[in-house]
Chain A
Amino acid sequence: MMSAAPPRIRFRDAQIEMAHGAGGKASRRLVEGLFAPLLFGGCEEPLADAAHVSINGTRVAITTDSFVVKPLRFPGGSIGELAVNGTVNDLAVSGAVAENLVVTYVLEAGLPTEELEAEVRAMAEAAQRAGIAIVGGDTKVVEHGKGDRMYITSTGIGRPIPGLTVAPQSVRPGDVVLLSGPIGDHGITILLARGELDLEADICSDTRSVLPFVQLLVTAAGAGVRWMRDPTRGGVATSLNELARDCGLCVTVFEDRVPVRDVVRGACELLGLDPLHIANEGQFLAVVAPEYVDAALDAVRSTPGGSGCAVVGEIREEPAAVVLGITAYGGTRVIDMLVGDPLPRIC
């Protein structure tokens, strides 16, 4: 019997740092350089938000996500709600409708039952809203001081939407980039909710299931939908850089068309952050063929919560594998992935 050559590991960072969990360059290096080669023989296919697999000829989508947000509750949501919506959204943007969820709680000894119960209720409500069933789970407790109150992992399976294939390889020059609404609300909300900055603003997290919007988009423009992603950690910039790299084309972003609320812009200006790097929990990006754009926009905008949907960019040939920002006055800049870890634990 021939034995395969051991997989090549290219992850050379000496230790794990917060940046490896921040969703940007370091996270990608860890996944592609260590996890992928050892767990599934490398990244032949671009990595997506969920895996689509075949079981006895039936296509199933599966994904998992852990939540370590601090604080547990914040304006507009809480860790329990995130744990449901995050997984539903990962399935949705991979082109699947979530069906079932299993959840794991890692609890720190000393956590008041009241707090746990509030999060379990939040999960139940979010699951009901998203129309999915939580069918099982597991609980572990760690010593006091060895965890941060509560971590939740949720794993979801879903049904792929028939006839829909979303993959970076199907993206073509001339395609259009849609964004579902204003960005940065979640990341900035968490940052302010930690109370470490003397900043207050009337803002709440955008956490929600994006599945209804995705379903409308697919119904209206199914054959023209090439790619989708929910820009969570690392923000829109990181998601679009992954797209640019995976499709080998240039993703242009018209900077003045990216919807950002004034309070998010203000906070970013003050803190030296780029809204394009800030996390979202209730938005999605889609690349759509140009002839389907109007139908796609109409479909999303006609739904409550979808009025902010906008065309924010387009796909060009050159420069290859780059995200390029274009200002209203014709200046250009490269928009890179998030480097380092500018924000605390946000999801």
Chain B
Amino acid sequence: MKYVDEFREAGVIRKAAEEIRRLADPERQYRFMEVCGGHTHAIYRFGLKDLLPSNIELIHGPGCPVCVLPMGRIDDAVSIARDPNVIFTAFGDMMRVPGRDGSPLEHKARGMDVRTVYSPADTLKLAQKNPDRHVLFFAIGFETTAPSTALTLMRAKSLGLRNFSVFCNHVTIIPAIRAILDSPDMRIDAFIGPGHVSTVIGCRPYEWIAKNERKPIVVSGFEPVDILQAIVMLLRQLKAGEPKVENQYTRVVPWEGNRSALKAMAEVFELRPYFEWRGMGFISQSALRIRSSYAQWNAEERFPVPGVRVTDPKAAQCGEVLKGALKPAQCKLFGKECTPEHPIGALMVSSEGSCAAYYNYEHRKTALTSIGASA
């Protein structure tokens, strides 16, 4: 399969792994944070940790939008969808995220009209097909998905669609990285930069990380070859002592980003003064809300929203795991009360969450040494 197979080719992967071993100084520890949940998933899914020397530690970052969403937002949206006239729509990975009163899927089993969509554009079709009902889209994601929500809202406006609204939870990546760097217990040597987000925002917004914080950052793709190559580039930068922003994912990410996507976002969204991140608390100017010129399609304007706030269970240590201070399996609830089927913490819900990725692909194989050798 083109554009996939060449980035999973065993010979190329082995070569990159050898290069990493050659570059890594055995005398020191490396702590690299992969910002994006897509990378976390790929690292476990492809067993890449097995290929790295033990002194390179990968820390899982905050780039999983489902994971950082406060539980109360789900309860808020569900309270709108309790009206039987409302059709609740969201991406598949939102469906099992628990609010205080259950996940969208549990509400569906109890009779709520909850539907999975693969694209926000599908929600418009749904609204057109059901003119007597209201279609609510639970929008979530970083800059990766925000442009498609923006375009959907622009389309709804141009169609004059009255029975459609968006419950907006879009967040932005840069303030989260800043919060990580400001956090006193974080010791990160370098960053594997988010690939999909960067297709929209480009590479310039990361320049302060290299310039002011003196940390290397390499924007990376999601295939095994991409991630290993990004690690090679980070090691080279550290060796040279010249932190900079580099783009490994040039086949997809333009340095300047995607102007028309950014324009659509600017047309529809503005920054919220602050927004709560699960596990990280309130971060200022870290999320998007719908502009007043689109108020008619803003669910938070159109419907009464209770503003539910739910604190995470005390025993759950999502915040520490989210910031990379704890490994998933070090949390007291991991694999016991908290599993992908019955997630308590948000990191267990999305396949991009570090706990779910670790649970699904890693934790039961720990008794093992060099199993690949005889394959």
Contacts and interface: CB of A to CB of B under 8 A. Distances in A.
B307 interface: no
B361 interface: yes
Interface of B: 1, 4, 10, 13-14, 17, 44-51, 92, 95-96, 105-106, 108-110, 118-119, 122, 224, 340-341, 351, 359-368, 371-373, 375
Contact of A331 (B46, B96, B106, B122): B46
A271 B117 CA distance: 11
Contact of B360 (A18, A262, A327, A336): A336
A273 to B, nearest CB: 10
Contact of B362 (A25, A266, A333): A333
Given A319-B365, A340-B96, A262 B1 contact: yes
A197 B375 contact: no
A332 interface: yes
A339 B340 contact: yes
Given A319-B368, A339-B341, A330 B375 contact: yes
Contact of A325 (B47, B49, B363): B47
17 contacts: A15-B110, A17-B108, A18-B108, A19-B105, A25-B341, A196-B118, A254-B375, A265-B1, A271-B118, A326-B47, A327-B372, A329-B17, A330-B372, A331-B49, A332-B47, A339-B360, A340-B95
Specify the main secondary structure of chain B where it touches its partner: helix
B363 A334 contact: yes
B361 A329 contact: no
Contacts of B224: 327, 329, 331
Contacts of A342: 92
Contacts of B14: 329-330
A252 B369 CA distance: 14
Interface string A257-268: 000001001100
Contacts of B365: 319, 322, 324, 332-334
Kindly state the interface size class of chain A when it binds its partner. 35 or more
A17 B375 contact: no
B341 A328 contact: no
A16 interface: yes
Contacts of A123: none
Contact of A327 (B47, B96, B105, B351): B47
Given A26-B341, A322-B364, A324-B371, A329 B109 contact: no
Interface string A17-51: 11100000110000000000000000000000000
B47 A328 contact: no
Contacts of B50: 330-332
Interface of A: 15-19, 25-26, 196-198, 252, 254, 256, 262, 265-266, 269, 271-272, 318-319, 322, 324-334, 336, 339-342
A334 B367 contact: no
Contacts of B49: 331
Given A196-B118, A326-B375, 13 more contacts: A196-B122, A252-B371, A265-B1, A265-B4, A269-B4, A318-B368, A326-B371, A329-B10, A330-B51, A331-B224, A332-B368, A336-B359, A339-B360
A41 to B, nearest CB: 26
A334 to B, nearest CB: 5
A333 B361 contact: yes
Given A331-B51, A333-B44, A18 B364 contact: no
A44 B48 CA distance: 39
A197 B373 contact: no
Contacts of A319: 364-368
B47 A15 contact: no
A342 to B, nearest CB: 7
A318 B1 contact: no
Contact of B51 (A19, A26, A256, A329): A329
Closest 6 CB pairs of A and B: A331-B47, A330-B372, A328-B10, A333-B361, A329-B13, A329-B10
B358 to A, nearest CB: 10
A265 B4 CA distance: 10
A19 B46 CA distance: 26
Contacts of A17: 105-106, 108-109
Contacts of B109: 15-18
Contacts of A324: 365, 368, 371
A342 B362 CA distance: 21
A334 B362 contact: yes
B341 A326 contact: no
